[in-house]
Structure 1
Amino acid sequence: MFDSDALFELEPPAADSVSFADLARRPLNELVAPDWAEALAPVEPQLREVLAFLDGEVAAGHEVLPSPSNMLRAFRQPLAGVRVLIVGQDPYPTPGHAVGLSFAVDGATRPIPRSLANMYKELQTDLGFPPRVHGDLSRWAEQGVLLLNRVLSVRAGAAGSHRNKGWEAVTAAAIRAVADRVSADSAGPAPLVVILWGKDAESVRPLLGSAAVISSAHPSPLSASRGFFGSRPFSRTNAMLQEQGNGTVDWELPPLP
């Protein structure tokens, strides 16, 4: 079973106490969990370049999402504890929504984004868990579910505005690191299930090696009815994890965050 006590304890600084320039100056092992610092070291120059770009965006008067304190939040979860990888696209462009975990929003956000609402509908159909009014997915992250966007930032109000600015190299390295892990007591890859929703997520498949993959249409209202609904990703993930000897994820979220 997954040991939640193994989570790397790195509390994010207050949103108003850190800037992107601050992040760009800090040692990598102060920004992410120690094993992530090692895995991302080869792309550290690209990471610092994109952080400098974000600082320039702010200097030019643009609001960048999520806040600096949440920008690298996905990497505070130890690499060694990742059991499930869910690949997103880029953060929600609505101010107050993006929190550094793909598909998640702040627990106080109402209403939740429609893609997330569709995920909850499928979760109810799949496992019988009632939809929640909040979008705090930290309970999943605490169990080793890596909620990773392909691009980790966005200009407020402009979806996709930070694509091709350097994040893709960073997240490609992260995805390879997850797929290439070798457990301490085995010569084979560590247990892992990867969930790919939509064409953007499918583009990372060449990075995944022999990892178990579940793929379908994206939960967006534009595509959910074309293969996402009825795909049962949550129960299928648990079945694959059990086959790999790594327990299951409790996908039920608390009624309130």
Structure 2
Amino acid sequence: MSDAQDALFSFDGRPDGLGDGSDPAPWPFAAGLEAAVQTGAVHPSWAPGLAPVDGRLRSIAAELEARRAAGERILPAPERVLRAFSAPLDRVKVLIVGQDPYPTPGHPVGLSFAVDAHVRPLPRSLANIYRELADDVGAEPPAHGDLSAWADQGVLLLNRVLTVGAGESGSHRGLGWQKVTDAAVAALAARGGPLVSILWGRDAQALAPALEGTAVITSAHPSPLSASRGFFGSRPFSRTNDLLAGQGAAPVDWRLPAAP
């Protein structure tokens, strides 16, 4: 089950048009990777790893623009699509893989499993992540879904597919985003440690061969349909910190602020 399918269990009462993909902003990668780097959408350290998919980024941008011109509302907002790559590659020490952005306007922020801080109630997958977080390391679950505090510590929250049509779960899986995100994962694996990858569910676990030789934690997906089949009790957060310690890296402080 993808992140996107959490739309079945969540509601967003935020007015449309507030940085949620309804505006006509240009795609930062429409002119290719170099343009995305120049605008700050992609950190320069990702450029060598993503260079082989420069053409793919251009073709995806062209398709997104055609869809938008035809009336499709695309999420997240253009400036957030490549957000996962805006921080330095060298700072990444934990990879958490999601599937698709949430298809509810106002929800997706360019980081897997995260939502805008205003969203209530939280998507069910994220609520289950918080439940396991509390059981695992005793962290008090916040009321919000802003995970930027994790990203700031080197946790790469990466969806396999980086855009979606509003209200249409999985609608952009055929655009070729997997080639882009696969290239990013390959760049991480080639860089080496310290690195721990958390792969929840079969779609994420398809990346395991590309991460061979690095530390990988797998379990069922945290969605309501599968969390009870191996996600709960899997202790991914404490296990990650143990594996980081074994690589000589500082642990992640998984606690999140009460308010972002």
* TM-score under structure 1 length normalisation: 0.89
Q: CA offset at residue 130 of structure 1?
A: 1.3
Rounded Cα–Cα distance in structure 2 between residues aligned with 1:145 and 1:249: 8
Rounded Cα–Cα distance in structure 1 between residues aligned with 2:174 and 2:140: 38
Map 1:119-198 onto structure 2 (within 5 A).
119-181=129-191, 189-198=192-201
Rounded Cα–Cα distance in structure 1 between residues aligned with 2:66 and 2:77: 14
What SS is found at the alignment partner of 2:108?
A: coil
Rounded Cα–Cα distance in structure 2 between residues aligned with 1:17 and 1:139: 29
Identity of aligned residues (%): 60
Q: CA offset at residue 132 of structure 1?
A: 1.3
What SS is found at the alignment partner of 2:30?
A: helix
Rounded Cα–Cα distance in structure 2 between residues aligned with 1:190 and 1:224: 29
Q: CA offset at residue 159 of structure 1?
A: 0.5
CA distance 1:17–1:50, change in 2 (3 Å)? closer
Rounded Cα–Cα distance in structure 1 between residues aligned with 2:29 and 2:202: 31
- Offset from partner CA, 1:28-73 (integer Å, 9 cap, x none): 4223000112221111000111111111111110110100010000
Paired residue type of 1:24: A
Q: CA offset at residue 17 of structure 1?
A: 7.2
Which residue of the partner structure matches residue 230 of structure 1? Answer: 233
Q: CA offset at residue 166 of structure 1?
A: 1.1
Decide whether the 8 Å contact of 1:218 with 1:224 is kept in 2. Answer: yes
What SS is found at the alignment partner of 2:56?
A: helix
Decide whether the 8 Å contact of 1:23 with 1:68 is kept in 2. Answer: no
Which residue of the partner structure matches residue 218 of structure 1? Answer: 221
Which residue of the partner structure matches residue 254 of structure 1? Answer: 257
Decide whether the 8 Å contact of 2:29 with 2:57 is kept in 1. Answer: no
Decide whether the 8 Å contact of 2:84 with 2:158 is kept in 1. Answer: yes
Rounded Cα–Cα distance in structure 1 between residues aligned with 2:246 and 2:224: 32
Which residue of the partner structure matches residue 239 of structure 1? Answer: 242
Decide whether the 8 Å contact of 1:87 with 1:150 is kept in 2. Answer: yes
Rounded Cα–Cα distance in structure 2 between residues aligned with 1:59 and 1:190: 43
1:34 aligns to 2:40 (yes or no): no
Which residue of the partner structure matches residue 57 of structure 1? Answer: 67
Rounded Cα–Cα distance in structure 1 between residues aligned with 2:108 and 2:36: 22
Which residue of the partner structure matches residue 88 of structure 1? Answer: 98
Which residue of the partner structure matches residue 4 of structure 1? Answer: none
Paired positions, count: 236
What SS is found at the alignment partner of 1:207?
A: helix
Decide whether the 8 Å contact of 2:196 with 2:244 is kept in 1. Answer: yes
**Alignment RMSD, CA only?**
1.3
1:202 aligns to 2:205 (yes or no): yes
Runs of 4+ in 1 over 2 A off after TM superposition: 14-18
Decide whether the 8 Å contact of 1:66 with 1:154 is kept in 2. Answer: yes
What SS is found at the alignment partner of 1:87?
A: strand
1:99 aligns to 2:106 (yes or no): no
Where does structure 2 lack aligned partners over 5 or more consecutive residues? 1-17
Where does structure 1 lack aligned partners over 5 or more consecutive residues? 1-13, 182-188
